[in-house]
């Protein structure tokens, strides 16, 4: 998972994975069946360890402003995001991945989008999100702005600049 996370998943060879793990290629194939099986297992582990934290932010029950602040902190301060988000890396390059991994990316994307939509609907019900704004568009926007901030951070941009830019982008939800 670390090898795929630190680099672009398509740039990581099975040979390098085998060297890092200290296993032979036949052992890897016995365990995962194929390279697609390995990337699928990697994505599932990432979802358990990292994406679950993103979903937890949405389910805290905190209000709109507190949740937006939590996303800013996650994108800018979480040390795991220094090299970017493996899910976003896989999603943006999914055409280079196998069919099982592509299907799982679509499932996780739909699940995350649903969680963002549920969050914004809850905010609407609490009077924090205007009735005239699309929950679906807001969910896409929020998710993509967080992804962009993580990508900027991974590319070495100054964290203070990333924080300021993300705060500005998310101000459309709840002006300070």
pLDDT of residue 138: 95
Residues 25, 18 contacting (CB under 8 angstroms): yes
Q: Is residue 11 part of a domain?
A: no
Q: Is residue 39 part of a domain?
A: no
Q: Is residue 62 part of a domain?
A: yes
Q: Is residue 27 part of a domain?
A: no
pLDDT of residue 169: 96
Distance from the first to the final alpha carbon of the chain: 38
Burial class (CB in 10 A: 0-12, 13-18, 19+), 176: exposed
Q: Is residue 32 part of a domain?
A: no
What CATH number is associated with residue 93?
A: 1.10.357.10
pLDDT of residue 61: 82
Q: Is residue 2 part of a domain?
A: no
Residues 142, 121 contacting (CB under 8 angstroms): no
- Per-residue DSSP letters for the chain? -HHHHHS-GGG--HHHHHHHHT--HHHHHHHHSSHHHHHHHHHHHHIIIIIHHHHHHHTS---HHHHHHHHHHHHHH-GGGGG--HHHHHHHTGGGS-HHHHHHHHHHHHHHHHHHHHHHHHHHHTTSS-TTS-HHHHHHHHHHHHHHHHHHHHTT--HHHHHHHHHHHHTTTS--
CA 26, CA 93: separation in Å to the nearest integer? 26
What's the whole-model pTM score? Answer: 0.89
pLDDT of residue 175: 65
* Number of domains present in the structure of the chain: 1
Q: Is residue 163 part of a domain?
A: yes
Q: Which domain holds residue 95?
A: 46-170
Q: Is residue 65 part of a domain?
A: yes
CA 123, CA 125: separation in Å to the nearest integer? 5
pLDDT of residue 1: 83
pLDDT in tens, the chain (176 residues): 888 888 878 888 888 888 988 898 999 999 999 999 999 999 999 999 999 999 999 999 889 999 999 999 999 999 999 999 999 999 999 999 999 999 999 999 999 999 999 999 999 999 998 888 999 999 999 999 999 999 999 999 999 999 999 999 999 987 65
CA 35, CA 130: separation in Å to the nearest integer? 46
């Amino acid at each position: 998972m670390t090898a795929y996370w630190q680099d672009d998943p398509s740039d990581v060879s099975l040979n390098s994975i085998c060297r890092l793990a200290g296993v032979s290629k036949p052992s890897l194939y016995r365990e995962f069946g194929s390279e697609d099986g390995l990337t699928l297992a990697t994505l599932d582990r990432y979802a358990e360890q990292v994406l679950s934290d993103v979903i937890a932010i949405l389910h805290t029950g905190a209000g709109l402003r507190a949740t937006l602040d939590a996303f800013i902190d996650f994108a800018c301060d979480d040390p795991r995001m220094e090299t970017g988000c493996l899910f976003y890396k896989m999603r943006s390059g999914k055409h280079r991945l196998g069919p099982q991994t592509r299907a799982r990316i679509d499932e996780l994307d739909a699940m995350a989008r649903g969680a963002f939509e549920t969050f914004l609907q809850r905010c609407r019900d609490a009077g924090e999100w205007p009735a005239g704004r699309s929950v679906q568009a807001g969910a896409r926007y929020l998710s993509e702005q967080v992804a962009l901030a993580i990508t900027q951070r991974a590319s070495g941009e100054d964290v203070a600049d990333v924080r300021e830019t993300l705060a500005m982008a998310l101000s459309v939800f709840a002006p300070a």
